[in-house]
Structure 1
Amino acid sequence: MKKLIALGLLLGAALAAAPLRLATTTSVNDSGLLEAILPGFTRETGVPVQVIAVGTGQALAIAGRGDADAVLVHAPDLEARFLREGKGVAHACIAYNNFVIAGPAADPAGVGAAADALDAMRRIFAAEAAFVSRGDNSGTYHREQALWRAAGLDPAGRPWYLESGSGMGATLTLAAEKRAYTLTDLGTFLFMRDKVDLEGLFDRPDPRMLNQYGYMVVNPERFPGANREAAYALRAYLLRPDVQQQIGAYLKDRFGKSLFNPLYGRCKVEVNP
């Protein structure tokens, strides 16, 4: 009997330590946020977190195959589709910031004087100024494409329109090298600002530039092998008031503004099916 009890305890410990696979966007990873907040979860639960940092579209595709236990992404339309298709459950908005149009200090297209985000895109297009797109099916790429469409423009195939096919950090680096404009999330831009020669040229309130991050548990009924308990535990951890405050305070003292603002599970746009 003692041997059976001991074996049960060992099995329980092994299960508790099974890693949580988190498919997420490069922006929360490149900004350093996950490195700041996830160790606390592991210390409290004993569950290591395996971060799979890719574009939002790829993160959702990975989770949609059952190859992740949870996702943290930033494309509300894609998140809503993921929920409608029954691939995800328990959606919660974790944080938000805004998108920024960054570019060279010389600002040849006059983006800094734009009236709104669409005006900024039109100025870049009219000036045929170099622009680096993520081009990777990420949340940032989807937002960039939505801005072009709303402005009535299509830059595809233009010689000044470049695609990095990479994450946000690499895209910012390429934009700096090319003295080009790019669309970036605020968190990654501020985190990398000392490393890239770019200015935040359009960083003003505009509903089209809202950037919120949503967490979903991969549907355990559809993917029985998913680490359900750990995924729900991380959701609860991220929504805890003290962790939300930690998210809001992340590097705020260094930059004078929050890289991410807590949402306590409340979404600013509809994402439910």
Structure 2
Amino acid sequence: MNQKWTSILVSGVILLLASGCGDTSEGQETGTEIGGEMILATTTSTYDTGLLDELMPVFEEETGVNVKIIAAGSGQALAMGEAGEADALLAHAPEAEEVLEADGKVINRHRVMHNDFIVAGPESDSAGIYGLPVEEAFSELARQNGVFFSRGDDSGTHKKELDIWNLAGTEPDFENYQETGQGMGETLRIASERAGYTLTDRGTYLFQKENIGNLAILNEGDESLENVYHVMQVNPDLSDKINDKAAQAFVDFFLSDETQSFIKTFGEEEWGQPLFFTN
């Protein structure tokens, strides 16, 4: 386990013991034995960055819950929630999440962290898009028939990419626009091997940096590139198989001071900057 996370966890336990395990608010389950199994449907970026590899053992130890992680695009994760086939969701497709929340399909939804999207491409930058506003960069890629790799999987990243094409007033129908149907890590690898461009979240890019050769950050910083993650429960009314206590404990765990403190420093030692920021 990450030494920094261990220190944070031990500090939290000491504080809890010192306070005599004071009162907890109604419904708070984190730190209590719940048991059973829980399905977490999540976007690939939380998995590909290694964040869940660090956090899930701690959650399982605290609660006795066995977590099965299904990492897919946010669209697929949300579809699992809508069908009552998952207990908790961690996604980065806010507009689609809001629809499910309004329909009562997900509950207890909270913003837990964010980073941003970037456009990565070959260092040679044959399309000459470096430093352009992202909408202009996309327009130029389409005009020049640049090699662009889209995830094409209804993920949060894919949804954001389609939003940018729409803002650019350009249809991604040029010859060298290709859909991988893969997660972010694999799409980055393909773009690297074939000297193409792609939209990615910064966290996965940094985590995969050693594996993606000459891919450089070419466009970043636009307000429209913010990448927000929310955690939520699937409404237990959708299925009698939903472990609602475990799902609520998972939400509480992500909102806890200890977890938030860990997230905001995760990646600093390895990459010189955190992969995610907390609120």
- Taking structure 2 as the reference length, what is the TM-score of the superposition? 0.86
Cα drift, residue 126 of structure 1: 2.0
**Residue 16 of structure 2 corresponds to which residue in structure 1?**
none
CA contact (8 A) 2:83 2:238 kept: no
**% identity of equivalent residues:** 39
2: distance between equivalents of 1:26 and 1:16? Answer: 27
CA contact (8 A) 1:37 1:247 kept: no
Which letter does structure 2 place at the counterpart of 1:140?
Answer: T
Secondary structure at 2:238 match in 1 = coil
Give the alignment partner of residue 161 of structure 2, picking from 144, 150, 171: 144
1: distance between equivalents of 2:104 and 2:63? Answer: 28
Secondary structure at 1:254 match in 2 = helix
* Residue 233 of structure 2 is aligned to residue 217 of structure 1: yes
2: distance between equivalents of 1:222 and 1:69? Answer: 10
- Taking structure 1 as the reference length, what is the TM-score of the superposition? 0.88
* Residue 272 of structure 2 is aligned to residue 256 of structure 1: yes
Cα drift, residue 222 of structure 1: 2.8
Mean alpha-carbon deviation: is it higher for 61-70 or for 120-129? 120-129
1: distance between equivalents of 2:202 and 2:156? Answer: 13
* Residue 218 of structure 2 is aligned to residue 201 of structure 1: yes
Give the alignment partner of residue 70 of structure 1, picking from 63, 67, 88: 88
Give the alignment partner of residue 98 of structure 1, picking from 97, 106, 116: 116
* Residue 58 of structure 2 is aligned to residue 48 of structure 1: no
Cα drift, residue 125 of structure 1: 1.6
Length, aligned pairs only: 246
**Residue 134 of structure 2 corresponds to which residue in structure 1?**
117
Could you report, residue by residue, the CA deviation over 1:151-191 in whole angstroms, capped at 9, with x for unpaired residues? 000012x2110000011011111111110000000111000
2: distance between equivalents of 1:16 and 1:93? Answer: 24
Which letter does structure 1 place at the counterpart of 2:167?
Answer: A
1: distance between equivalents of 2:70 and 2:274? Answer: 24
* Residue 243 of structure 2 is aligned to residue 243 of structure 1: no
Secondary structure at 2:137 match in 1 = helix
Cα drift, residue 111 of structure 1: 2.0
**Residue 170 of structure 1 corresponds to which residue in structure 2?**
186
Which letter does structure 2 place at the counterpart of 1:74?
Answer: H
Instruction: Compute the RMSD of aligned alpha carbons.
Output: 1.2
1: distance between equivalents of 2:130 and 2:116? Answer: 16
Give the alignment partner of residue 129 of structure 1, picking from 137, 146, 149: 146
Gaps (5+ residues) in structure 2? 1-32
Secondary structure at 1:113 match in 2 = coil
Q: Flag as ranges the 4+ runs of structure 1 deviating above 2 A.
A: 221-225
1: distance between equivalents of 2:240 and 2:113? Answer: 29
CA contact (8 A) 2:138 2:164 kept: yes
